[in-house]
């Protein structure tokens, strides 16, 4: 059965914001949510195809794919390192569709550099996009969620948040790991604070997904064993499951995509349209 949009699906009528959706995991999540009837607002810095110097994908292409499949979508340019852009993202969403029901903080920017040479600028941008950006967006959507006693916030983390063993070496991911560890602690703290408001707050790590960015950084190559690579469809399905149901039963979780698939016995669906891809080196 080919992928399609069900306007009466599991997220019918819900308004979902997905950051970093021009390609990769964010793109897959947006497509999956739209298939279940959500009105999806997708944001990134890459608006039109070809604007990125190295990578394929754009939020306009994604918006068009969802619309052509019969779903609802709106692309809004947003640099997550800029306060005004974050505020305009939520304002634009509310003007188009109403208050946000689901916020997915997926956007990331990373320089894999040895600790000794990480500049102040790179450090601050990574922290702004991956820690304060999600924090600020949550502050912007929470008042309405609290008023309605309903809502979901999902933060996308990484295995990089796990403490490395001394002597294990590393590929310059110390600051990236710091950001993701902070994001996970933010998630559990916010889940605790919003529990009585019926708002679910979770964090999930994808494992190794062959996104355009991952391939570009050569974290996945043709020599990478297939069993080590998590399909984007699996991550999207797990992210759907963590934003539906009873928020008080599914909140404060630090999850991994494969664990969610197994725990809830999920069968990942094919996605509408085509994900942006690059050749594996």
Q: Are 155 and 202 in contact (CB under 8 A)?
A: yes
| Domain locations in the chain as residue ranges | 15-205+231-263
The token duo for 40 is: 């999806």
> What is the per-residue pLDDT for 198?
98
pTM for this entry = 0.91
Q: Which residues contact 210 (CB under 8 A, 6 or more apart)?
A: 220, 229, 232, 277, 280
> Which residue carries 């590393």 as its tokens?
170
Q: How far apart are CA 14 and CA 33, in angstroms?
A: 9
The three state secondary structure string of 96-134 is HCCCCCEEEECCCCCCCCCHHHCCHHHHHHHHHHHHHHH
Q: How far apart are CA 229 and CA 220, in angstroms?
A: 8
Among the listed residues 174, 178, 88, the one whose alpha carbon sits nearest the alpha carbon of residue 128: 178
Over the stretch 124-170, which tens digit does the pLDDT of each residue have? 999 999 999 999 999 999 999 999 999 999 999 998 899 888 766 66
What average pLDDT score do residues 171-176 get?
85
Query: CA 85, CA 19: separation in Å to the nearest integer?
Result: 12
pLDDT band, residue 54 (cuts 50/70/90): low
φ/ψ of 155, rounded to 5, equals: -105, 135
| Cα 206 from chain centroid (whole Å) | 10
Q: CB of 201 within 8 A of CB of 157?
A: no
Nearest to 59 by CA among 27, 25, 89, 84: 27
Among the ranges given (60-69, 109-118, 180-189), the one the predictor scored with the smallest mean pLDDT:
109-118
- Give the catalytic positions in this structure: 176
Burial of 49 (0-12, 13-18, 19+ CB in 10 A): middle
CA–CA dist 251, 259 (Å, integer): 15
> pLDDT band at 210, cuts 50/70/90?
very low
Q: What's the topology of domain 15-205+231-263?
A: Rossmann fold (3.40.50)
Residues 211-236: pLDDT tens digits? Answer: 444 443 445 445 444 555 678 899 99
Give the SS3 label for residue 249.
Answer: coil
């Amino acid at each position: 059965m080919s992928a399609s949009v069900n306007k009466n699906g599991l997220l019918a009528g819900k308004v979902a914001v997905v950051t970093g959706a021009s390609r990769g995991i964010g793109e897959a999540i947006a497509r999956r949510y739209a298939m279940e009837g959500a009105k999806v607002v997708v944001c990134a810095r890459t608006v039109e195809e070809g604007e990125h110097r190295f990578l394929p994908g754009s939020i306009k292409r994604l918006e068009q794919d969802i619309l052509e499949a019969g779903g609802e979508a709106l692309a809004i340019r947003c640099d997550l390192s800029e306060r005004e852009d974050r505020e305009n993202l939520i304002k634009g969403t509310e003007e188009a569709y109403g208050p946000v029901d689901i916020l997915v903080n997926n956007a990331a920017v990373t320089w894999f550099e040895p600790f000794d040479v990480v500049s102040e600028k790179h450090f601050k941008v990574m922290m702004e996009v991956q820690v304060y950006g999600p924090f600020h967006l949550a502050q912007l959507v929470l008042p309405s969620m609290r008023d309605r006693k309903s809502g979901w916030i999902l933060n996308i983390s990484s295995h990089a948040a796990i403490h490395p063993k001394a002597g294990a070496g590393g590929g310059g991911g110390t600051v990236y790991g710091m950001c993701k560890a902070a994001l996970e602690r933010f998630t559990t703290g916010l889940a605790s604070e919003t529990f009585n408001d019926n708002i679910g707050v979770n964090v999930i790590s994808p494992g190794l997904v062959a996104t355009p960015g991952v391939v570009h950084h050569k974290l996945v190559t043709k020599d990478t064993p297939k069993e080590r690579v998590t399909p984007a469809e699996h991550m999207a399905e797990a992210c759907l499951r963590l934003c539906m149901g009873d928020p008080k039963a599914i909140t404060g979780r630090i999850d991994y995509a494969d664990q969610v698939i197994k725990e809830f016995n999920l069968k990942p669906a094919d996605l509408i349209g085509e994900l942006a891809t690059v050749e594996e080196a």
